[in-house]
Protein backbone atom coordinates (compact mmCIF):
# COMPACT_ATOMS: atom_id res chain seq x y z
CA UNK A 1 0.00 0.00 0.00
CA UNK A 2 1.40 3.34 -1.03
CA UNK A 3 0.85 6.90 -2.09
CA UNK A 4 1.52 7.74 -5.73
CA UNK A 5 1.77 11.05 -7.61
CA UNK A 6 2.66 12.03 -11.16
CA UNK A 7 2.28 15.26 -13.11
CA UNK A 8 3.50 16.56 -16.47
CA UNK A 9 2.06 20.00 -15.71
CA UNK A 10 4.80 22.69 -15.92
CA UNK A 11 3.02 24.49 -13.08
CA UNK A 12 4.37 21.78 -10.76
CA UNK A 13 7.98 22.25 -9.71
CA UNK A 14 10.35 21.08 -7.00
CA UNK A 15 9.09 23.75 -4.61
CA UNK A 16 5.82 21.81 -4.37
CA UNK A 17 7.44 18.80 -2.71
CA UNK A 18 6.40 19.97 0.76
CA UNK A 19 2.71 20.04 -0.22
CA UNK A 20 2.87 16.61 -1.84
CA UNK A 21 4.73 15.17 1.13
CA UNK A 22 2.30 16.72 3.62
CA UNK A 23 -0.81 15.16 2.10
CA UNK A 24 0.59 11.92 0.66
CA UNK A 25 3.50 10.67 2.78
CA UNK A 26 1.17 9.20 5.44
CA UNK A 27 0.19 6.53 2.94
CA UNK A 28 3.71 5.14 2.91
CA UNK A 29 5.76 5.74 6.06
CA UNK A 30 8.44 3.13 5.21
CA UNK A 31 10.09 4.79 2.21
CA UNK A 32 9.74 8.18 0.56
CA UNK A 33 11.15 8.86 -2.91
CA UNK A 34 10.87 12.60 -2.61
CA UNK A 35 9.77 14.56 -5.68
CA UNK A 36 11.73 13.42 -8.72
CA UNK A 37 12.15 14.56 -12.32
CA UNK A 38 11.70 11.49 -14.51
CA UNK A 39 10.75 11.19 -18.18
CA UNK A 40 9.50 14.80 -18.32
CA UNK A 41 7.27 14.18 -15.30
CA UNK A 42 7.37 15.09 -11.61
CA UNK A 43 6.79 11.85 -9.68
CA UNK A 44 6.53 10.93 -6.00
CA UNK A 45 6.08 7.62 -4.20
CA UNK A 46 5.62 6.86 -0.50
CA UNK A 47 5.75 3.18 0.41
CA UNK A 48 4.17 1.01 3.06
CA UNK A 49 6.24 -2.17 2.75
CA UNK A 50 4.15 -5.35 2.94
CA UNK A 51 5.51 -7.80 0.36
CA UNK A 52 9.28 -7.89 -0.24
CA UNK A 53 10.00 -4.96 2.12
CA UNK A 54 13.54 -4.53 0.77
CA UNK A 55 14.40 -1.02 -0.52
CA UNK A 56 15.30 -2.73 -3.80
CA UNK A 57 11.59 -2.74 -4.67
CA UNK A 58 10.84 0.85 -3.75
CA UNK A 59 9.42 3.07 -6.47
CA UNK A 60 9.38 4.62 -9.02
CA UNK A 61 10.31 1.21 -10.47
CA UNK A 62 11.89 0.86 -13.88
CA UNK A 63 10.55 -1.64 -16.41
CA UNK A 64 12.78 -3.42 -18.92
CA UNK A 65 11.60 -1.12 -21.73
CA UNK A 66 12.71 2.01 -19.87
CA UNK A 67 9.24 3.01 -18.72
CA UNK A 68 8.50 3.60 -15.02
CA UNK A 69 5.63 2.41 -12.86
CA UNK A 70 4.10 3.95 -9.77
CA UNK A 71 1.99 1.31 -8.10
CA UNK A 72 -0.28 1.23 -5.05
CA UNK A 73 -1.78 -2.10 -4.06
CA UNK A 74 -1.18 -5.82 -3.81
CA UNK A 75 -1.08 -8.60 -6.41
CA UNK A 76 -1.84 -11.74 -4.44
CA UNK A 77 -1.30 -14.17 -7.31
CA UNK A 78 2.07 -12.66 -8.29
CA UNK A 79 3.90 -15.97 -7.88
CA UNK A 80 1.41 -17.77 -10.13
CA UNK A 81 1.69 -15.03 -12.76
CA UNK A 82 5.47 -15.04 -12.59
CA UNK A 83 5.53 -18.81 -13.20
CA UNK A 84 3.18 -18.37 -16.16
CA UNK A 85 4.79 -15.38 -17.88
CA UNK A 86 8.30 -14.93 -16.53
CA UNK A 87 9.29 -18.56 -15.89
CA UNK A 88 11.32 -17.66 -12.83
CA UNK A 89 10.84 -17.11 -9.13
CA UNK A 90 9.96 -13.51 -8.27
CA UNK A 91 9.52 -12.41 -4.65
CA UNK A 92 8.04 -8.97 -5.32
CA UNK A 93 4.65 -8.16 -6.84
CA UNK A 94 6.10 -4.80 -7.94
CA UNK A 95 8.79 -6.55 -9.98
CA UNK A 96 6.19 -8.95 -11.40
CA UNK A 97 4.03 -6.01 -12.47
CA UNK A 98 7.01 -4.34 -14.16
CA UNK A 99 7.49 -7.49 -16.26
CA UNK A 100 3.90 -8.16 -17.35
CA UNK A 101 2.61 -4.62 -17.85
CA UNK A 102 5.00 -4.08 -20.80
CA UNK A 103 3.70 -7.17 -22.63
CA UNK A 104 1.36 -6.67 -25.59
CA UNK A 105 -0.99 -9.28 -24.12
CA UNK A 106 -1.15 -7.61 -20.68
CA UNK A 107 -4.65 -7.90 -19.21
CA UNK A 108 -5.41 -6.37 -15.78
CA UNK A 109 -8.16 -8.98 -15.35
CA UNK A 110 -5.43 -11.57 -14.74
CA UNK A 111 -4.53 -9.83 -11.51
CA UNK A 112 -6.08 -11.10 -8.28
CA UNK A 113 -5.74 -8.17 -5.94
CA UNK A 114 -6.26 -4.43 -5.81
CA UNK A 115 -4.29 -1.65 -7.40
CA UNK A 116 -3.86 1.82 -8.79
CA UNK A 117 -1.11 1.99 -11.41
CA UNK A 118 0.59 4.78 -13.36
CA UNK A 119 3.04 3.91 -16.13
CA UNK A 120 5.07 6.47 -18.09
CA UNK A 121 7.26 5.71 -21.11
CA UNK A 122 10.90 6.77 -21.31
CA UNK A 123 9.76 9.43 -23.82
CA UNK A 124 7.32 10.85 -21.26
CA UNK A 125 4.07 9.40 -22.62
CA UNK A 126 1.36 8.26 -20.19
CA UNK A 127 0.86 4.59 -21.08
CA UNK A 128 -1.35 3.39 -18.22
CA UNK A 129 -3.46 5.03 -15.54
CA UNK A 130 -5.68 2.29 -14.17
CA UNK A 131 -7.63 1.24 -11.13
CA UNK A 132 -8.75 -2.18 -9.92
CA UNK A 133 -12.10 -3.71 -10.86
CA UNK A 134 -13.98 -2.78 -7.66
CA UNK A 135 -12.23 0.48 -6.77
CA UNK A 136 -10.37 -0.68 -3.67
CA UNK A 137 -7.47 1.71 -4.27
CA UNK A 138 -8.16 5.43 -4.87
CA UNK A 139 -6.82 7.31 -7.89
CA UNK A 140 -7.68 10.92 -8.72
CA UNK A 141 -6.71 13.13 -11.62
CA UNK A 142 -6.92 16.76 -12.75
CA UNK A 143 -6.55 18.01 -16.31
CA UNK A 144 -5.33 21.51 -17.12
CA UNK A 145 -4.96 22.36 -20.80
CA UNK A 146 -3.08 19.38 -22.30
CA UNK A 147 -1.52 18.43 -18.94
CA UNK A 148 -2.59 15.93 -16.30
CA UNK A 149 -1.86 15.49 -12.58
CA UNK A 150 -2.60 12.15 -10.91
CA UNK A 151 -2.58 11.27 -7.21
CA UNK A 152 -3.75 8.74 -4.62
CA UNK A 153 -5.22 11.63 -2.64
CA UNK A 154 -7.38 14.41 -4.05
CA UNK A 155 -6.13 16.68 -1.26
CA UNK A 156 -2.72 16.84 -2.98
CA UNK A 157 -4.24 18.14 -6.21
CA UNK A 158 -6.56 20.49 -4.37
CA UNK A 159 -3.67 22.16 -2.53
CA UNK A 160 -1.27 22.24 -5.49
CA UNK A 161 -3.75 24.10 -7.68
CA UNK A 162 -5.66 25.94 -4.94
CA UNK A 163 -8.96 24.42 -6.05
CA UNK A 164 -12.33 25.28 -4.56
CA UNK A 165 -14.84 22.82 -3.20
CA UNK A 166 -17.38 21.61 -5.72
CA UNK A 167 -20.96 22.53 -4.84
CA UNK A 168 -22.14 19.41 -6.69
CA UNK A 169 -19.73 17.26 -4.70
CA UNK A 170 -20.86 18.66 -1.35
CA UNK A 171 -24.50 18.30 -2.33
CA UNK A 172 -23.92 14.66 -3.22
CA UNK A 173 -22.18 14.23 0.12
CA UNK A 174 -25.30 15.30 1.96
CA UNK A 175 -27.48 12.94 -0.09
CA UNK A 176 -25.19 9.93 -0.58
CA UNK A 177 -22.38 10.49 1.99
CA UNK A 178 -19.93 10.78 -0.91
CA UNK A 179 -19.72 12.53 -4.32
CA UNK A 180 -20.59 9.32 -6.19
CA UNK A 181 -21.26 11.08 -9.50
CA UNK A 182 -18.86 14.04 -9.28
CA UNK A 183 -15.89 11.84 -8.48
CA UNK A 184 -14.39 14.16 -5.85
CA UNK A 185 -15.13 17.10 -3.59
CA UNK A 186 -13.03 19.54 -5.63
CA UNK A 187 -13.71 21.42 -8.84
CA UNK A 188 -12.12 19.73 -11.82
CA UNK A 189 -10.81 16.70 -9.89
CA UNK A 190 -12.14 13.36 -11.08
CA UNK A 191 -11.71 9.79 -9.95
CA UNK A 192 -10.50 7.06 -12.30
CA UNK A 193 -13.48 4.71 -12.64
CA UNK A 194 -13.26 1.25 -11.14
CA UNK A 195 -12.11 -1.36 -13.64
CA UNK A 196 -10.86 1.18 -16.16
CA UNK A 197 -7.77 2.87 -17.55
CA UNK A 198 -7.72 6.51 -18.65
CA UNK A 199 -5.67 5.50 -21.69
CA UNK A 200 -6.98 2.05 -22.63
CA UNK A 201 -10.60 2.42 -21.43
CA UNK A 202 -12.51 -0.18 -19.42
CA UNK A 203 -11.07 -3.62 -18.83
CA UNK A 204 -13.77 -4.83 -16.41
CA UNK A 205 -17.39 -4.12 -17.33
CA UNK A 206 -19.42 -4.89 -14.22
CA UNK A 207 -22.83 -4.70 -15.88
CA UNK A 208 -21.87 -7.38 -18.42
CA UNK A 209 -21.54 -9.90 -15.59
CA UNK A 210 -24.43 -9.08 -13.26
CA UNK A 211 -27.07 -11.16 -15.04
CA UNK A 212 -24.97 -13.97 -16.51
CA UNK A 213 -24.02 -16.50 -13.87
CA UNK A 214 -27.16 -17.52 -11.96
CA UNK A 215 -27.78 -20.78 -13.80
CA UNK A 216 -24.22 -21.98 -13.45
CA UNK A 217 -23.41 -24.69 -10.94
CA UNK A 218 -22.43 -23.33 -7.56
CA UNK A 219 -19.13 -24.25 -5.99
CA UNK A 220 -18.68 -24.75 -2.27
CA UNK A 221 -18.88 -21.10 -1.16
CA UNK A 222 -17.08 -21.83 2.10
CA UNK A 223 -14.09 -23.28 0.27
CA UNK A 224 -14.06 -20.32 -2.16
CA UNK A 225 -13.98 -17.91 0.77
CA UNK A 226 -11.38 -19.94 2.61
CA UNK A 227 -9.11 -19.94 -0.43
CA UNK A 228 -9.55 -16.20 -0.91
CA UNK A 229 -8.87 -15.43 2.74
CA UNK A 230 -5.72 -17.51 2.57
CA UNK A 231 -4.55 -15.53 -0.46
CA UNK A 232 -5.16 -12.28 1.47
CA UNK A 233 -2.83 -13.53 4.17
CA UNK A 234 0.17 -13.35 1.81
CA UNK A 235 2.50 -10.95 3.59
CA UNK A 236 6.03 -10.46 4.85
CA UNK A 237 4.74 -8.48 7.84
CA UNK A 238 2.27 -9.27 10.69
CA UNK A 239 -1.46 -9.43 9.91
CA UNK A 240 -4.49 -8.88 12.15
CA UNK A 241 -8.28 -8.94 11.75
CA UNK A 242 -10.82 -6.19 12.43
CA UNK A 243 -13.44 -7.89 14.57
CA UNK A 244 -17.01 -6.93 15.43
CA UNK A 245 -20.19 -8.75 16.37
CA UNK A 246 -21.17 -8.97 12.70
CA UNK A 247 -21.37 -11.94 10.35
CA UNK A 248 -18.65 -10.87 7.92
CA UNK A 249 -15.73 -10.40 10.31
CA UNK A 250 -16.63 -13.60 12.15
CA UNK A 251 -16.60 -15.57 8.91
CA UNK A 252 -13.12 -14.21 8.23
CA UNK A 253 -12.08 -15.06 11.78
CA UNK A 254 -13.29 -18.65 11.54
CA UNK A 255 -12.03 -19.35 8.02
CA UNK A 256 -8.61 -17.73 8.39
CA UNK A 257 -5.48 -19.37 9.72
CA UNK A 258 -5.34 -19.26 13.49
CA UNK A 259 -3.09 -17.45 15.97
CA UNK A 260 -4.10 -14.02 14.71
CA UNK A 261 -4.41 -10.78 16.62
CA UNK A 262 -7.91 -9.30 16.54
CA UNK A 263 -8.84 -5.65 16.97
CA UNK A 264 -12.10 -4.09 18.08
CA UNK A 265 -12.94 -0.52 19.00
CA UNK A 266 -15.89 1.54 20.10
CA UNK A 267 -17.44 3.35 23.03
CA UNK A 268 -18.07 1.87 26.44
CA UNK A 269 -20.94 -0.66 26.37
CA UNK A 270 -21.19 -0.68 22.57
CA UNK A 271 -22.53 -4.06 21.36
CA UNK A 272 -19.26 -4.83 19.55
CA UNK A 273 -17.24 -4.16 22.68
CA UNK A 274 -19.49 -6.39 24.79
CA UNK A 275 -19.39 -9.18 22.20
CA UNK A 276 -15.60 -9.11 21.87
CA UNK A 277 -15.08 -9.12 25.63
CA UNK A 278 -17.26 -12.22 25.99
CA UNK A 279 -15.57 -13.93 23.03
CA UNK A 280 -12.12 -13.14 24.40
CA UNK A 281 -12.94 -14.71 27.75
CA UNK A 282 -14.73 -17.70 26.26
CA UNK A 283 -12.23 -18.70 23.55
CA UNK A 284 -9.07 -17.17 25.03
CA UNK A 285 -8.36 -15.24 21.83
CA UNK A 286 -5.88 -12.39 21.45
CA UNK A 287 -8.53 -9.70 21.00
CA UNK A 288 -7.35 -6.13 21.50
CA UNK A 289 -10.33 -4.09 22.67
CA UNK A 290 -10.13 -0.30 22.69
CA UNK A 291 -12.76 1.74 24.52
CA UNK A 292 -12.68 5.18 22.94
CA UNK A 293 -13.38 8.36 24.88
CA UNK A 294 -15.42 11.22 23.37
CA UNK A 295 -12.50 13.67 23.51
CA UNK A 296 -10.24 11.14 21.78
CA UNK A 297 -12.88 10.72 19.06
CA UNK A 298 -13.29 14.47 18.48
CA UNK A 299 -9.53 15.05 18.35
CA UNK A 300 -9.03 12.29 15.77
CA UNK A 301 -12.09 13.47 13.79
CA UNK A 302 -10.58 16.94 13.34
CA UNK A 303 -7.15 15.55 12.53
CA UNK A 304 -8.50 13.27 9.78
CA UNK A 305 -10.42 16.05 8.06
CA UNK A 306 -7.35 18.28 8.17
CA UNK A 307 -5.27 15.52 6.58
CA UNK A 308 -7.82 14.50 3.96
CA UNK A 309 -9.23 18.00 3.28
CA UNK A 310 -12.63 16.34 2.84
CA UNK A 311 -15.62 15.52 5.02
CA UNK A 312 -15.74 12.00 6.42
CA UNK A 313 -18.39 9.56 5.31
CA UNK A 314 -19.43 7.96 8.62
CA UNK A 315 -18.34 8.19 12.29
CA UNK A 316 -16.89 4.68 12.10
CA UNK A 317 -13.98 6.08 10.05
CA UNK A 318 -12.69 7.80 13.17
CA UNK A 319 -12.88 4.59 15.19
CA UNK A 320 -11.06 2.65 12.46
CA UNK A 321 -8.27 5.22 12.40
CA UNK A 322 -7.81 4.99 16.16
CA UNK A 323 -7.68 1.19 15.92
CA UNK A 324 -5.07 1.46 13.14
CA UNK A 325 -2.88 3.69 15.32
CA UNK A 326 -2.98 1.18 18.14
CA UNK A 327 -2.49 -1.86 15.90
CA UNK A 328 0.54 -0.26 14.27
CA UNK A 329 2.14 0.25 17.69
CA UNK A 330 1.87 -3.52 18.16
CA UNK A 331 3.70 -4.15 14.88
CA UNK A 332 0.59 -4.94 12.80
CA UNK A 333 0.75 -3.52 9.26
CA UNK A 334 -2.24 -5.33 7.67
CA UNK A 335 -5.84 -5.67 8.90
CA UNK A 336 -8.45 -7.89 7.24
CA UNK A 337 -11.98 -6.49 7.05
CA UNK A 338 -15.42 -7.62 5.87
CA UNK A 339 -16.30 -5.00 3.22
CA UNK A 340 -18.01 -6.38 0.11
CA UNK A 341 -20.15 -9.06 1.74
CA UNK A 342 -23.23 -6.83 1.92
CA UNK A 343 -22.95 -5.76 -1.72
CA UNK A 344 -22.27 -9.21 -3.16
CA UNK A 345 -24.71 -11.18 -0.99
CA UNK A 346 -27.64 -8.77 -0.42
CA UNK A 347 -26.80 -7.65 3.10
CA UNK A 348 -28.73 -4.37 3.06
CA UNK A 349 -31.92 -6.13 4.00
CA UNK A 350 -34.37 -3.22 3.74
CA UNK A 351 -33.35 -2.14 0.25
CA UNK A 352 -32.71 -5.59 -1.20
CA UNK A 353 -36.04 -6.82 0.17
CA UNK A 354 -37.80 -3.88 -1.47
CA UNK A 355 -36.03 -4.78 -4.72
CA UNK A 356 -37.03 -8.43 -4.47
CA UNK A 357 -40.74 -7.77 -4.03
CA UNK A 358 -41.08 -4.85 -6.49
CA UNK A 359 -40.78 -5.98 -10.07
CA UNK A 360 -41.35 -2.49 -11.45
CA UNK A 361 -38.30 -0.32 -10.73
CA UNK A 362 -38.62 3.36 -9.81
CA UNK A 363 -35.56 5.56 -9.20
CA UNK A 364 -37.38 7.98 -6.90
CA UNK A 365 -38.68 5.12 -4.78
CA UNK A 366 -35.18 3.63 -4.63
CA UNK A 367 -33.77 6.99 -3.49
CA UNK A 368 -36.18 7.03 -0.54
CA UNK A 369 -34.63 3.78 0.68
CA UNK A 370 -31.02 4.61 -0.12
CA UNK A 371 -30.44 8.35 0.31
CA UNK A 372 -29.63 10.04 3.62
CA UNK A 373 -31.54 13.21 2.76
CA UNK A 374 -34.12 14.07 0.12
CA UNK A 375 -32.72 13.79 -3.38
CA UNK A 376 -32.84 16.82 -5.69
CA UNK A 377 -33.87 16.78 -9.36
CA UNK A 378 -30.27 16.99 -10.61
CA UNK A 379 -29.11 13.89 -8.78
CA UNK A 380 -32.35 12.05 -9.48
CA UNK A 381 -31.63 12.63 -13.15
CA UNK A 382 -28.17 11.09 -12.68
CA UNK A 383 -29.71 8.10 -10.93
CA UNK A 384 -32.18 7.68 -13.78
CA UNK A 385 -29.37 7.88 -16.30
CA UNK A 386 -27.53 4.98 -14.62
CA UNK A 387 -30.60 2.80 -14.21
CA UNK A 388 -31.81 3.46 -17.76
CA UNK A 389 -28.57 1.95 -19.04
CA UNK A 390 -29.44 -1.31 -17.30
CA UNK A 391 -33.20 -1.32 -17.89
CA UNK A 392 -33.13 -4.95 -19.02
CA UNK A 393 -32.02 -6.13 -15.57
CA UNK A 394 -34.48 -7.11 -12.86
CA UNK A 395 -35.14 -4.65 -10.04
CA UNK A 396 -33.02 -6.81 -7.73
CA UNK A 397 -30.07 -6.89 -10.11
CA UNK A 398 -30.34 -3.15 -10.76
CA UNK A 399 -29.97 -2.51 -7.04
CA UNK A 400 -27.06 -4.95 -6.83
CA UNK A 401 -25.33 -3.25 -9.75
CA UNK A 402 -25.75 0.16 -8.09
CA UNK A 403 -24.37 -1.03 -4.79
CA UNK A 404 -21.29 -2.58 -6.36
CA UNK A 405 -20.58 0.26 -8.77
CA UNK A 406 -21.35 3.25 -6.54
CA UNK A 407 -21.78 2.27 -2.90
CA UNK A 408 -18.94 -0.21 -2.50
CA UNK A 409 -16.21 2.29 -3.50
CA UNK A 410 -17.48 4.61 -0.73
CA UNK A 411 -16.87 1.90 1.86
CA UNK A 412 -13.51 1.03 0.35
CA UNK A 413 -12.40 4.66 0.28
CA UNK A 414 -13.22 5.21 3.93
CA UNK A 415 -11.52 1.97 5.03
CA UNK A 416 -8.45 2.73 2.91
CA UNK A 417 -8.02 6.25 4.25
CA UNK A 418 -8.87 5.42 7.88
CA UNK A 419 -6.35 2.59 8.13
CA UNK A 420 -3.68 4.25 5.99
CA UNK A 421 -3.84 7.30 8.26
CA UNK A 422 -2.35 4.98 10.88
CA UNK A 423 0.14 3.31 8.53
CA UNK A 424 -1.88 0.10 8.16
CA UNK A 425 -3.08 -1.65 5.00
CA UNK A 426 -6.70 -2.80 4.80
CA UNK A 427 -7.56 -6.00 2.94
CA UNK A 428 -11.07 -7.16 2.11
CA UNK A 429 -11.22 -10.93 1.42
CA UNK A 430 -14.83 -10.78 0.18
CA UNK A 431 -13.72 -8.42 -2.59
CA UNK A 432 -12.10 -10.83 -4.98
CA UNK A 433 -13.01 -11.86 -8.49
CA UNK A 434 -13.58 -15.46 -7.34
CA UNK A 435 -16.03 -14.47 -4.59
CA UNK A 436 -17.73 -11.99 -6.92
CA UNK A 437 -18.29 -14.53 -9.69
CA UNK A 438 -19.49 -17.11 -7.19
CA UNK A 439 -21.96 -14.62 -5.69
CA UNK A 440 -23.51 -14.07 -9.12
CA UNK A 441 -24.66 -17.69 -9.19
CA UNK A 442 -27.12 -16.98 -6.37
CA UNK A 443 -30.52 -15.60 -7.31
CA UNK A 444 -32.60 -13.30 -5.14
CA UNK A 445 -34.40 -16.19 -3.43
CA UNK A 446 -31.06 -17.75 -2.54
CA UNK A 447 -29.85 -14.52 -0.99
CA UNK A 448 -32.76 -12.97 0.90
CA UNK A 449 -36.13 -13.88 2.40
CA UNK A 450 -38.69 -11.91 4.39
CA UNK A 451 -36.46 -11.91 7.46
CA UNK A 452 -32.79 -12.20 6.50
CA UNK A 453 -30.37 -11.26 3.76
CA UNK A 454 -26.94 -12.83 3.17
CA UNK A 455 -28.46 -16.28 3.63
CA UNK A 456 -25.49 -18.22 2.16
CA UNK A 457 -23.06 -16.47 4.52
CA UNK A 458 -25.27 -17.05 7.55
CA UNK A 459 -25.42 -20.72 6.65
CA UNK A 460 -21.62 -20.93 6.60
CA UNK A 461 -21.33 -19.26 10.01
CA UNK A 462 -23.81 -21.73 11.57
CA UNK A 463 -21.13 -24.41 11.46
CA UNK A 464 -18.81 -22.35 13.63
CA UNK A 465 -21.08 -20.30 15.89
CA UNK A 466 -24.31 -22.28 16.08
CA UNK A 467 -27.76 -21.72 14.60
CA UNK A 468 -28.70 -18.67 16.69
CA UNK A 469 -25.77 -16.25 16.29
CA UNK A 470 -25.93 -15.77 12.48
CA UNK A 471 -29.62 -14.79 12.66
CA UNK A 472 -29.49 -12.17 15.38
CA UNK A 473 -30.85 -8.70 14.69
CA UNK A 474 -28.38 -6.48 12.84
CA UNK A 475 -26.81 -3.85 15.09
CA UNK A 476 -24.83 -1.48 12.86
CA UNK A 477 -22.49 1.19 14.26
CA UNK A 478 -24.22 2.90 17.21
CA UNK A 479 -22.16 6.08 17.50
CA UNK A 480 -24.31 8.57 19.43
CA UNK A 481 -22.92 11.85 18.20
CA UNK A 482 -24.89 14.17 20.45
CA UNK A 483 -23.10 12.60 23.43
CA UNK A 484 -19.70 12.90 21.74
CA UNK A 485 -20.05 16.55 20.78
CA UNK A 486 -21.40 17.16 24.26
CA UNK A 487 -20.08 20.69 24.74
CA UNK A 488 -22.60 22.19 22.32
CA UNK A 489 -26.08 22.30 23.86
CA UNK A 490 -27.57 22.93 20.41
CA UNK A 491 -26.66 19.34 19.48
CA UNK A 492 -28.81 17.72 22.14
CA UNK A 493 -31.89 16.98 20.06
CA UNK A 494 -30.42 16.79 16.57
CA UNK A 495 -30.60 13.61 14.53
CA UNK A 496 -27.36 11.67 14.27
CA UNK A 497 -26.83 12.19 10.54
CA UNK A 498 -27.80 15.88 10.57
CA UNK A 499 -25.29 16.53 13.33
CA UNK A 500 -22.58 14.53 11.53
CA UNK A 501 -23.11 16.50 8.33
CA UNK A 502 -23.00 19.84 10.16
CA UNK A 503 -19.81 18.99 12.05
CA UNK A 504 -18.03 17.84 8.89
CA UNK A 505 -19.01 20.93 6.92
CA UNK A 506 -17.94 23.17 9.81
CA UNK A 507 -14.49 21.54 9.83
CA UNK A 508 -13.84 21.80 6.11
CA UNK A 509 -14.71 25.50 6.24
CA UNK A 510 -11.67 25.91 8.49
CA UNK A 511 -9.27 24.51 5.87
Instruction: Assign residue 275 the CATH number of its domain.
Output: 3.40.50.620
Q: Which pLDDT does position 259 carry in this prediction?
A: 85
Q: Which pLDDT does position 374 carry in this prediction?
A: 95
Question: What are the phi and psi torsion angles at 67 (to 5°)?
Answer: -75, 165
**Residue 60: cis peptide before it, omega within 30 degrees of 0:** yes
Residues 200 and 289 in one domain: no
Residues 331 and 464 in one domain: yes
Cα–Cα separations (whole angstroms), residue 351 to 50, 70, 119, 391, 498? 38, 39, 40, 18, 22
Q: Cβ(510)–Cβ(311) under 8 Å?
A: no
Does residue 227 carry a pLDDT above 70? yes
Which strand (E) or helix (H) includes residue 209? helix 206-210
User: How many domains does one find in the chain?
Assistant: 2
> Using one digit for the tens of pLDDT, what is the confidence trace for 255-314?
998 889 999 999 998 999 999 999 999 999 999 999 999 999 999 999 999 999 999 999
Is residue 387 in a domain?
no
Residues 450 and 332 in one domain: yes
Angstrom distance (rounded) from CA 395 to CA 63: 46
Residues 157 and 252 in one domain: no
Angstrom distance (rounded) from CA 370 to CA 366: 6
Residues 13 and 98 in one domain: yes
Residues 323 and 271 in one domain: yes
Q: Which pLDDT does position 483 carry in this prediction?
A: 76
C-beta atoms surrounding 472 within 10 Å: 13
Domain, as residue range, for 310: 221-342+406-479
C-beta atoms surrounding 330 within 10 Å: 12
Question: Domain boundary at 154, 175, 204, which?
Answer: 204
Angstrom distance (rounded) from CA 123 to CA 484: 54
Residues 144 and 235 in one domain: no
Confidence of residue 55 (pLDDT cuts 50, 70, 90): confident
Is residue 430 in a domain?
yes
Confidence of residue 488 (pLDDT cuts 50, 70, 90): low
Q: Which pLDDT does position 496 carry in this prediction?
A: 79
Q: Which pLDDT does position 362 carry in this prediction?
A: 95
Nearest of 509, 503, 497 to residue 485 by alpha carbon: 503
Is residue 372 in a domain?
no
Angstrom distance (rounded) from CA 210 to CA 200: 23
Residues 6+ apart with CB under 8 A from 363: 380, 383, 384, 387
Cα–Cα separations (whole angstroms), residue 197 to 92, 163, 324, 427? 23, 24, 31, 22
Is residue 507 in a domain?
no
Residues 235 and 139 in one domain: no
Is residue 16 in a domain?
yes
Residues 200 and 243 in one domain: no
Angstrom distance (rounded) from CA 510 to CA 360: 46
Nearest of 158, 159, 208 to residue 185 by alpha carbon: 158
C-beta atoms surrounding 105 within 10 Å: 7
| Angle subtended at Cα 132 by Cα 326 and Cα 242, rounded to the nearest 5 degrees | 25
Does residue 198 carry a pLDDT above 60? yes
Q: What is the CATH number of the domain that holds 100?
A: 3.60.20.10
Is residue 368 in a domain?
no
Residues 150 and 236 in one domain: no
Residues 308 and 429 in one domain: yes
Is residue 458 in a domain?
yes
Q: What is the CA radius of gyration of the chain?
A: 22
Q: Which pLDDT does position 449 carry in this prediction?
A: 95
Q: Which pLDDT does position 213 carry in this prediction?
A: 65
Which strand (E) or helix (H) includes residue 271? helix 271-283
Q: Which pLDDT does position 126 carry in this prediction?
A: 98
Lowest mean pLDDT among 83-87, 122-126, 302-306: 83-87
Cα–Cα separations (whole angstroms), residue 301 to 463, 474, 482? 39, 26, 14
Is residue 442 in a domain?
yes
Length of the chain: 511
Residues 278 and 419 in one domain: yes
Amino acid sequence: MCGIFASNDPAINMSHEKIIDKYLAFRGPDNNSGLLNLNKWKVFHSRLSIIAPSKKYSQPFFCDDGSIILYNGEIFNYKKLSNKFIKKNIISDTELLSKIIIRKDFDPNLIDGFFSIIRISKEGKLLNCLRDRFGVKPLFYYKRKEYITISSEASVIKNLFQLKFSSDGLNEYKIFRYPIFSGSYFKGVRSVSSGSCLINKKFFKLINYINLKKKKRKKNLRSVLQKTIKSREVSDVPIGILLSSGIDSNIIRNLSSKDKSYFCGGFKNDPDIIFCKKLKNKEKLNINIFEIKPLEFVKKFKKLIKLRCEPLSVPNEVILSIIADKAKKQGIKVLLSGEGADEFFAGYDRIYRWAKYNKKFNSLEFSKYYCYSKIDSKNLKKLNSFFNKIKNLSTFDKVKAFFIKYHLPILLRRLDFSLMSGGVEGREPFISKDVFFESLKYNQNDLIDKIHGKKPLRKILEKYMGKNFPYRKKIGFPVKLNKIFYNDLNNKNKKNYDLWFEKNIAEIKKL
